[in-house]
Structures are given as structure tokens and as C-alpha cells.
Amino acid sequence: MEGRQAVRELLVAGRREVGEIWIAERADPAPILGEIDALARERKVPVRLVSSRRLESVQATETPQGVVAFAAALQAVTLEELVLGVIGALGEKGAGGKPEAGAAQAVPGPTAGPAPFLVLLDGVTDPQNLGAVMRSAECAGATGLVLPRHRAAHVTPAVTKAAAGAVEYLRLALVAGIPSALQELENLGVMTIGLDERGDSELFGLDVGPRPVALVLGAEGRGIAQLARRRCDVLARIPLGGEIDSLNVSAAAAVACFEIARQRRKSS
């Protein structure tokens, strides 16, 4: 994992094992680096000062901001677990150790708290867009993210950096395909809203209420695939007032996630 904010949130969340953190020797003395060092020491995670060249030998993005963390991989859960609740989906708290796989433990029924608010991405392939969507979704209070296993961006160092720590709090499910996931969500009683510029309803006019809800966003250009569109309960559009007829998927996600969050707060 790379990027100052991402590494800070990794340590704050404490949900994944962190083996070691590297900080560039000549990194500018920003306050957040002091926070990272203090948090790492609190969790008994070793911090090494390394040369810029040494840091470059392991970095996966162009601008790691002088910080790299070696952490256990994120643990994906099932779609049903996203809806019903899951224990330990992001890993147990602990210090040190090497990355290792571990299965999440599902609880037998819904957990206490607000109804699930999921975000499904249908064929989004740009890492920066995925990271930005994750950041907006988490800030709006989404409880989970659903990605198809194939022909889509997945969580990489570039995504975690763009997400600025959101990956530590959003549970993640990988599914065979978005259409089948929508069918499963229908069976689980989740309202599905497809964001589509040709939608019959305006997003701001929907009555989401406090129910379980899933927002579906499509790829740049083609939008939501036809079969997935047909399986959404509602196709909604964001009303636009300018000459350009569409928003970037990450911008559209931010608008839609916060509108759904507003409606849920109003109903609670």
C-alpha cells in the first residue's frame, strides 16, 4: 500500500496485519508522517527509513509520497454477507506479521445498525475512477462495494492510494457478474437503483427510505450493460443543467451516493 493518507488509515482502522512500513529518508517533514510513525509504534509495526532509490524498487505507483506499507491482503466476502452482515471481513486487529489469506466468518443473521447501502460497479476499468468512487461511497456511508471478477478494475496500490483509506472501511464482494448479483439482491430484498442518463426517474425524486439499497454504476462510455439495466428495480438519472450530457462515473457516484445518504438520514 502506498500514499500517506492511505497508510495512515490502514493504521487507524487496524483491521489488517501490517508487517513493516518504509518511509523515504528525505521525505518532506509533513505532520502526517509523524502521525504515521506514532501510529505504527503504537501498533508495534516496524518503521524503516530507506533511501529514495530503495523505496522506488518496491513502489507500484508513480507517486507513493515517500511511504510504503507492507500489509495483509484485503479479504473479500460474499454478496450475501454484505447484506446480512459479516464479522472480521477486513481482518482482525493485530500488529506485525506477513500477509496471509484468511476466510471471513459470517454471522447467521443481519447485524444491528443501518440497512445495507451497497455500490455495484459494472465494468469500471480505470483505477483512478474506482478509487475515487470508493472514497465517495465510504464518505457517504455506503457499507459495501461489489465488483465483477472479470473485465473490471480491482483493488491495486493505485486504487488504494486514490481511495485515500476508504478500502479499510468498505467491505468488498467479488461476483461472477453484475446481472446475477442483481438477481441475488432482489431475492435478499434489496432495492436496486441503476444510474443511467436515459433513466425514466430523476434521482432526486426517488423515495429510497430506510430500506436496504444498492446503487449500480456503469463503465465510462457504455454505461450499465443491457442485462443489468433490465434487472434494476429503477433506472434513475441525475438532472443536468449544462450543455454536456453526462458526468464522469466518479463524479456521478459522488452525487448519487450523497443523495441516497441524504434520503436515508431523512427517513431514519
Considering the entire predicted model, what is its pTM?
A: 0.85
* Residue 89 domain flag: no
Crossing angle for the helix pair 31-42 and 4-13, to the nearest 10 degrees: 30
Grid cell at residue 82: 454484505
Residue 229, domain CATH:
3.40.1280.10
For position 113, what pLDDT does the model report?
66
Tens digits of per-residue pLDDT, 29-54? 899 999 999 999 999 999 999 999 99
Give a yes or no: residue 39 inside a domain.
Answer: yes
pLDDT over 90 percentage in the chain: 71
Same domain, 261 and 133: yes
Is 182 inside a domain boundary? yes
Q: How does pLDDT run across 142-191, given as a tens digit for each residue? A: 999 999 999 889 999 899 999 999 999 999 999 999 999 999 999 999 99
Whether 68 and 21 have beta carbons less than 8 Å apart is answered as: yes
DSSP letter at 51? -
Length of the chain: 268
Do 185 and 58 lie in one domain? The reply is no
Percentage of the chain beyond pLDDT 70 is: 89
If one counts the domains in the chain, the total is 2
DSSP string, 75-121: PPB-HHHHHH-EESTT-----S--------EE-SSPPSSSPPEEEEE
Do 122 and 66 have their domain in common? no
What's the pLDDT band for 103 if we cut at 50, 70, 90?
Answer: very low
Measured between alpha carbons, how far is 256 from 195 in angstroms, rounded to an integer? 8
Residue 125 domain boundaries? 114-267
